[in-house]
Structure 1
């Protein structure tokens, strides 16, 4: 039931966050058609809304650079298709020529597969939807430019909040880390390897959350570059960007920690009674960092909490695997301190300053 609730909540938040971009995309598509028809004067400008949707639709969930690539790709494909079909006509071998030339032209832009694929698809559409010599020749390319330009303008002038996805993804990532540490503590206290195994399975699947956080922060930065009204968010995005690498390392270290916790319990090691409470304290510190990063609050309290855990780290765990658990806690403390802005050398020194 908990997984179902989590799934429903995830979908609900996704729909809520995407509501405004979806409305913008829909209205912009209609506007692109209207401009191409009533301003430019084309009777059936179907490529205008198509180009607009391609540009804005991808920006709902992905990076702005991909939107630009799609705009270039569809423009190149339609332009090459229009020009070549006018000269050599349409047919199976003409389609082959059009696709080859569209890809070659797109390659001149030195971009990724997304632009190349879109250029080829657009060229095929031009070569097959209407015969050469009709009044649609080159008007389709103009319609494409209208739709792509409008899509990019909307993305630049009416962008989504660059912090929304970044805050949501860091909240998800730190929630996974917090639950992993609590689960490891529970497994050790109850001497229950099954609990640890479930926690391990979950934390092993957390790389998607790490990647989503990194991508969301970079996408947020791209928005602040093109949208002057969003540049005030650069400070917080810079703080989140500082945290991306260290939090990735913290999650990786947590995977090792949980695996060794399971081994310690399975092997019957006499784990020190200080290990589980320290794990819980570390989880509390992660929870505080989660609230502050996701809420845009100062990180002073979270830093103090992590330093407090660092000062209370046990020197030994009580067995081979338990010692590794302690070592991984020290590594996670180092990562978290780097995540709040401390340089790595100072963070290592702080993590090694245990009084126990």
Structure 2
């Protein structure tokens, strides 16, 4: 698939996965406005949908904890802004006072930068959008509470599937690893350092995929803690969490492997004939892990495939860099066995049990 095709396919998947959360956010924003206007009786409750969108909009792609921080931040900022502007009025120095007090109040809760920034921004909005002494005083804070509460309620009762992002990101991560191993095999077989350099450039940029996978698993766990209907997914999320650190290590070891393969080709160092075929077998095992781990299947077949690769590992590669390539293959085998749930010590022993 071309780069453009790959990009378009990734955008389609992203829009498909985000369709339900986006719809929930849009409907909740409208509902927050309606509640604040028709139930609370506020004529123009613009802070209600704003707070709701801030809370739900970030939960589309980020962790729920950040949504809670935003809800607290906007509520603190609007509340402090309403109270201070009612007393001292509005103007440039009043804005300075409001921002300072909003930040100080937020700091009392020992919070992160996200909450602090949102508190300051909300206070500035209150101090500049409407003058004091009107019926809007404190109604804006009530509107904010309505919107933030509705956003958190929707995020808790109607959360997105905690497995969607986790499965998508582990698939992307393992695709990068599989492609790197196949690329290294092709580079070694053709003795072409330029091919290896392209593979190395790509695998060096794979840390984003690792971080995305780890973040998606953590976000999924947060959803299962607050949404009873999603707790049935904890088993699969636990298995994915078990795989996070080993897959991170596998990718790091693959970077070293590809770099040493390029060095061997550049230096004209001989590489054993069995190294490239074994790399392809290892890539096949990664492909099987990609299907079974991402699909929620049993990993028995993956473990057997990786153990078969372990038995085929050559004792050495033929030269210094080639020996490092083989050593990294053994390390990746260990990582993949750990990703299936095997104890690391047992995985090391199995990876060293070469019949060659």
- Report the alpha carbon displacement of residue 355 of structure 1 after superposing the two structures with TM: 1.1
State how far apart, in whole Å, the 2-side matches of 1:117 and 1:45 are. Answer: 22
Q: Which residue of 2 aligns with 1:49?
A: 49
Answering whether residue 219 of structure 2 is matched by residue 224 of structure 1, we say no
- Report the alpha carbon displacement of residue 199 of structure 1 after superposing the two structures with TM: 0.4
For structure 2, the residue ranges without an aligned partner over 5 or more in a row are none
Q: Which residue of 2 aligns with 1:102?
A: 102
Q: How does 1:105-254 map to 2 (within 5 A)?
A: 105-254=105-254
State how far apart, in whole Å, the 2-side matches of 1:332 and 1:112 are. Answer: 37
State how far apart, in whole Å, the 1-side matches of 2:266 and 2:279 are. Answer: 18
State how far apart, in whole Å, the 1-side matches of 2:277 and 2:169 are. Answer: 28
Q: Which residue of 2 aligns with 1:77?
A: 77
Please say which of residues 165-174 and 83-92 is displaced more in the overlay: 83-92
Query: What is the DSSP-based 3-state SS (H/G/I as helix, E as strand, rest coil) of the residue aligned with 2:53?
Result: helix
- The one-character-per-residue Cα deviations of 1:300-350 (angstroms, maximum 9, x if unpaired) are 100110111111111100001000000000000111111111111111111
- The one-character-per-residue Cα deviations of 1:105-148 (angstroms, maximum 9, x if unpaired) are 11122121110000000000000001111100000000000000
- Report the alpha carbon displacement of residue 51 of structure 1 after superposing the two structures with TM: 0.1
* TM-score (ref. length: structure 2): 0.99
- Report the alpha carbon displacement of residue 267 of structure 1 after superposing the two structures with TM: 0.9
Answering whether residue 260 of structure 2 is matched by residue 260 of structure 1, we say yes
Query: What is the DSSP-based 3-state SS (H/G/I as helix, E as strand, rest coil) of the residue aligned with 2:342?
Result: coil
Please say which of residues 31-40 and 104-113 is displaced more in the overlay: 104-113
Query: What is the DSSP-based 3-state SS (H/G/I as helix, E as strand, rest coil) of the residue aligned with 1:252?
Result: helix
State how far apart, in whole Å, the 1-side matches of 2:63 and 2:110 are. Answer: 18
State how far apart, in whole Å, the 2-side matches of 1:350 and 1:163 are. Answer: 31
State how far apart, in whole Å, the 1-side matches of 2:111 and 2:290 are. Answer: 36
Q: Which residue of 1 aligns with 2:309?
A: 309
Answering whether residue 353 of structure 2 is matched by residue 353 of structure 1, we say yes
Query: What is the DSSP-based 3-state SS (H/G/I as helix, E as strand, rest coil) of the residue aligned with 2:329?
Result: helix
Q: Which residue of 2 aligns with 1:58?
A: 58
- Report the alpha carbon displacement of residue 266 of structure 1 after superposing the two structures with TM: 1.1
Q: Which residue of 1 aligns with 2:331?
A: 331
Query: What is the DSSP-based 3-state SS (H/G/I as helix, E as strand, rest coil) of the residue aligned with 1:270?
Result: coil
State how far apart, in whole Å, the 1-side matches of 2:108 and 2:339 are. Answer: 40
Q: Which residue of 1 aligns with 2:281?
A: 281
* Runs of 4+ displaced beyond 4 Å: none
Q: Which residue of 1 aligns with 2:35?
A: 35
* TM-score (ref. length: structure 1): 0.99
- Report the alpha carbon displacement of residue 154 of structure 1 after superposing the two structures with TM: 0.3
Query: What is the DSSP-based 3-state SS (H/G/I as helix, E as strand, rest coil) of the residue aligned with 1:90?
Result: coil
Q: Which residue of 2 aligns with 1:68?
A: 68
- The one-character-per-residue Cα deviations of 1:156-190 (angstroms, maximum 9, x if unpaired) are 00000000000000000000000000000000001
- The one-character-per-residue Cα deviations of 1:190-219 (angstroms, maximum 9, x if unpaired) are 111111111000000000000000000000
Superposition CA RMSD, Å:
0.6
- Report the alpha carbon displacement of residue 87 of structure 1 after superposing the two structures with TM: 1.0
Q: Which residue of 1 aligns with 2:14?
A: 14
- The one-character-per-residue Cα deviations of 1:69-127 (angstroms, maximum 9, x if unpaired) are 00000000000000011111111111001000100111122121110000000000000
- Report the alpha carbon displacement of residue 230 of structure 1 after superposing the two structures with TM: 0.2
